[in-house]
Every structure is written in C-alpha cells, then in structure tokens.
Amino acid sequence: MSKVNKSNFWEERYIANNTPWDTGEAAPAFVKYFDKKNLLNKKVAVLGCGKGHDAFYIASLKEGEINESCLQVYGFDFSHSAVKFCKEVKENNNNKNIDFYQADFFDLIKELKWKNYFDFVIEHTSLCAIDPLRRKEYANLIKYLLKPNGKLVGLFFIRPIELGGPPFGSTQEEIKELFKNDFLETEELRHEKCPHTFTGEEYFGVFEKRI
C-alpha cells in the first residue's frame, strides 16, 4: 500500500509541523470565486481540509443568523491533529455552520447520507496528495457527493509527473480527461499564482456534475 494511503503518513507531518502546502490563509482563487456567490442554503465539502483555512473562509460567507437555511460547510481530513486544530478554532470562534470529520474521505462513498448531498466540493491539494492510481476513484467520489448540477471547484497542482511525490504531478489534459464523462467544465482551467514553495503551478477550474 502506498504511504499516502495511511493516515499516520499525514499525521506525522502535522505533528512535526512539516506542512509546506499550508500557506496560513484561504486560497485567493477561492476568495475570488466565492466572494459574490449566493450561498444561502448551500452545503459545501472541503476534502483534505488541513487546518481549515479554505473551509473557515467559505463558512464566513453566511448571510444573517444561523438557521436551517444557512450555508453549511463540512471539512474532512485524514490527520487527527489537523481536525483537532480545526475543532479548537471552531470552538474558540463559536463557528456554528461548520463541522470537521477525521476520516479517509474515500470512505465517504460507503455512507448513503453523503450521496448527492453537496452543492460544492472543494479540491485543493487533495488530487496531488493521493496515490495517482486512485484518481479515477477520486473523481467517482466527487460524483457521488455532489448533487446533480453541483460544482467541483478546484485549485489543481500541475507539474511533471516524473518528479514523483507527494505532491504528485499531473497535467491540464489529465484533469480534463478525468472529469469529462460525468462533469461539464464550466470555468476552463486557468493559471493562478502559486503561494507555496513546491515546484509546480496551480490552475483553477470549475466542473459541474451532469444530470
């Protein structure tokens, strides 16, 4: 089994604070995309949420008081320490419309409650972190999680595959191919400034689940 398929691989990095992918803030591409979106009554999944920067930002975009029609955000991560950190931030800031789960997100497909549950799934440093042999499985997971016409909002890491990983490289063509059967590319992949120090580029794109 690949080392990245085991939770302790990621847990050790959070314990050692060896998390160079963590820039300490929400990705500017997500800020730009979600800032003017109507998120009333929407449900958002952040896969591989890490310390929750993207998740907390999106959750902050709620309108008015917390109620049953409020935006709800769900963060999932393999690392116990990362999720513990997120839960402590949530408690300290009294965030009521966000929840965190320590889980292998591939296991979400085993739970019927998550089927067609989300309006948005956020992809940021997850596709490049998983075993490349599981990328089709990842695409199927996102299809399972999203409602019809739900959107995968992704910031994809592009670099030569031969460099190994994690982060494992990919190409724009591979990403388009991965989602083309079940998704419509509604915002074409475009280059975004990459704030972390890994060798590679980041591309933002949006894929809508076909009915």
Q: How confident is residue 67, by pLDDT bands cut at 50, 70 and 90?
A: low
- The rounded distance, in Å, linking the Cα atoms of 96 and 100 is 11
- The rounded distance, in Å, linking the Cα atoms of 88 and 111 is 26
Residue 174 has pLDDT above 70, yes or no: yes
Residue 206 structure tokens: 């949006």
CATH level 3 topology of 3-209? Rossmann fold (3.40.50)
Q: How confident is residue 69, by pLDDT bands cut at 50, 70 and 90?
A: low
Q: Residue 69 contacts by C-beta under 8 Å, 6 or more apart in sequence?
A: 40, 41
Q: Which residues are 125's β-sheet partners?
A: none
Q: Residue 166 contacts by C-beta under 8 Å, 6 or more apart in sequence?
A: 4, 128, 129
The domain segmentation of the chain, as residue ranges, is 3-209
Mean pLDDT for the chain overall: 92
Residue 68 has pLDDT above 70, yes or no: no
